[in-house]
Amino acid sequence: MPPETLDVLIVGAGLSGISAAWHLQRHCPGRRFALLESREAIGGTWDLFRYPGVRSDSDMHTLGYAFKPWTAAKAIADGPAILQYVRETAHENGIDAFIRFRHRVVRADFDTAGGLWTVDCERGEAKEPVRLACRFLLVCSGYYDYEQGHTPHFEGRETFGGRIVHPQHWPQDLDHRGRRVVVIGSGATAVTLVPAMADSAAHVTMLQRSPTYIIARPASDAMSQALRRWLPERAAYTLTRWKNVLLGMAFFAWCRARPESAKRLILHGVRRALGPGADVARDFTPHYNPWDQRLCLVPDADLFRALRAGKASVVTDHVERFTESGIRLRSGRELPADIVVTATGLQLKLLGGMAVSVDGQRVDFSQRLGYKGAMCSDLPNLAMVTGYTNASWTLKADLTCAWVCRVLNHMQRHGHARCTPRLRDPDMPRLPWIDFSSGYVQRAVDQLPKQGARVPWRLYQNYMRDIVMLKWRRVDDGVLEFS
């Protein structure tokens, strides 16, 4: 039997995949599409992570969809609330009927002559082979490895008498009440876990090799609450969304232009939150400038409140080895622990790990340039949805999904079978796809596509620029070749 052929195949049923399906329904009615989800549920990241306190580090007025207002009081929302929002969006729009669960895409090959992708999947625990075909492949799987996080080698780990867990695989039977907990890490996951566990644990220690910039912000948006009393829900949501977008862009630009001033402001906030006894220079002053890595957001200063109350503490040192009863540090100090949480980061995995080829020739993405942050040079009929590193993921995801619909409609109007970004300047400088010094980026930088020195090959991480480029400029721009 020939494989089932669809117009569009969406890979992933998380935040981006549901957005893609909504835009296809709205802007490309009549197209046959399906969503393939390797797991058993909608939600992607927000269904995967189950550790205590899991939450967004972006406000929901920008992490939420442009087409569906976020109506809850908390703007910095917890994981279950975000998951409910994504599932509600899918159900309200009938998207859940198009999702095929437990379908893991392992390879995709594009036939240039036929203008079709052949997509091979593994279904269920038995890994039953399933083959589908599609005219356009839209990958919304993000760029994190869902199977495993990053855990460095720790000497003596096997001698530890307690329990070691990674936040990405949080065991449901783990009881931390009355236990001494050490959280290794200083990123978003660590600063979320520490206050969430501190109320019931005997004590929680955040052990970090180096600090991260941390900013406290109210969990609720006062302007949103005020606007909702006087305006319709959608109008209040849109105004709050734009307020947060513009403030975020302005703050990012200021941090890059005036890093020393930004550093002083951030550290002043930390000193005010912690009081005079804290060693801010040692424990909260990174060796890099603000926004060289992503900032950490703590809603309602919950981390700082746990530290001031003595329920938690921060130790800046290096792990020398695990012992039977805890962790010995390079300084000679030993941290007693019953539970160690290795919040040591995530791993990147492009396109969910699927193998991609064109006419049987394997595609090496590290040799490709990203086009408009959505496609890759000389790779036809495939788009990847990725978000911003300096703002909410969904802002870019929504723009990319809407732009793909513009491309599909252009192809239909003109009878085209293929669209391919063509790089005609072989001497264009090649820059890293993500300009971040964070460990999870640097560990995978050799596997990722590159970006060029100018549009449309340059990835500016700027929402206003992307609105102009993806929403208002011509689809047929002389770079995207139609045939």
Q: Choose between 348 and 76: higher pLDDT.
A: 76
- What average pLDDT does this structure show over 298-312? 95
For residue 254, the SS3 value is helix
Above 70 in pLDDT, residue 438?
no
User: CA 319, 321, 322, 326 torsion: positive or negative?
Assistant: negative
How far apart are the C-alpha atoms of 15 and 11, rounded to whole Å? Answer: 12
What is the average per-residue pLDDT within 151-179? 93
- Sequence spans of domains, the chain: 4-147+347-482, 157-220+277-342
pLDDT of residue 229: 92
Q: How far is C-alpha 254 from the chain's CA centre?
A: 23
Q: What is the pLDDT of residues 373-427, one digit of tens each?
A: 999 999 999 999 998 988 999 999 999 999 999 999 999 999 999 999 999 988 8
The total of other beta-carbon atoms located within 10 Å of residue 72's CB is: 14
Fold of the CATH domain 4-147+347-482: FAD/NAD(P)-binding domain (3.50.50)
| Fold of the domain spanning 157-220+277-342 | FAD/NAD(P)-binding domain (3.50.50)
CA–CA distance, 214 with 265 (Å, rounded to integer): 11
Q: What is the DSSP letter of 155?
A: T
Q: Which two tokens stand for residue 124?
A: 């269920």
Q: What b-and-e string marks burial along 280-310, b requiring 16 or more CB atoms within 10 Å of the CB?
A: eeebbbbeebbbbbbbbbbbebbbbbbbeee
Least confident of 137-141, 144-148, 334-338, 433-437: 433-437
Task: Give the Å distances, CA to CA, from 79 to 45, 48, 58.
Answer: 9, 10, 12
pLDDT of residue 238: 96
pLDDT band of 440, cuts 50, 70, 90: low
Contact assessment for residue 394 and residue 64, using Cβ atoms and an 8 Å cutoff: yes
Same fold across 4-147+347-482 and 157-220+277-342: yes
Q: Find out whether 179 and 233 touch, Cβ atoms under 8 Å.
A: no
Residues 203 and 180 sit within 8 Å (Cβ to Cβ): yes
pLDDT the model gives residue 76? 94
Categorize the per-residue pLDDT at 148 as very low, low, confident or very high, splitting at 50, 70 and 90.
confident
Residue 10 carries which side chain, given as an amino acid letter? I
Beta carbons within 8 Å of 29's beta carbon, 6+ residues apart: none
The mean per-residue pLDDT over the stretch 174-190 comes to 95
Going from the C-alpha of 158 to that of each of 144, 326, 330, the distances in angstroms are: 27, 12, 19
- Number of residues that make up the chain: 483
Q: What DSSP string runs through 190-209?
A: HHHHHHHHHTTSSEEEEEES
The pLDDT tens digits of the residues spanning 350-376 come to 888 899 999 999 999 999 999 999 999
d(CA 143, CA 64): 19
Residue 435 scores a pLDDT above 90: no
Question: In this structure, what DSSP letter does residue 295 have?
Answer: P
CA proximity to 10, closest of 167, 174, 121: 121
Q: Which pLDDT band holds residue 104 (cuts at 50, 70, 90)?
A: very high
Tokens of 298: 């703590």
d(Cα 187, Cα 343) in Å, to the nearest integer?
A: 8
Q: Looking at residue 413, what is its pLDDT?
A: 96
The encoded tokens of residue 3 equal 């494989």
Rounded-to-integer distance, Cα 404 and Cα 394, Å: 15
CA distances from 421 to 208, 285, 349, 468 (A): 43, 43, 23, 18
Q: Compute the distance between CA of residue 36 and CA of residue 105 in angstroms, rounded to an integer.
A: 8
Q: Which amino acid belongs to residue 323? A: T
Distances (CA, A) of 311 to 129, 201, 272, 298, 303: 51, 8, 19, 16, 10
Residue with token string 């950490």: 296
The position carrying tokens 């949103």 is: 224
In whole angstroms, give the CA distance from residue 389 to residue 2. 41
Residues 127, 120 contacting (CB under 8 angstroms): no
Q: Cβ of 465: how many Cβ atoms within 10 Å?
A: 14
Distance separating alpha carbons of residues 131 and 154, to the nearest angstrom: 42
Give the per-residue pLDDT at 389: 85
Which tokens go with 86? Answer: 């994504």
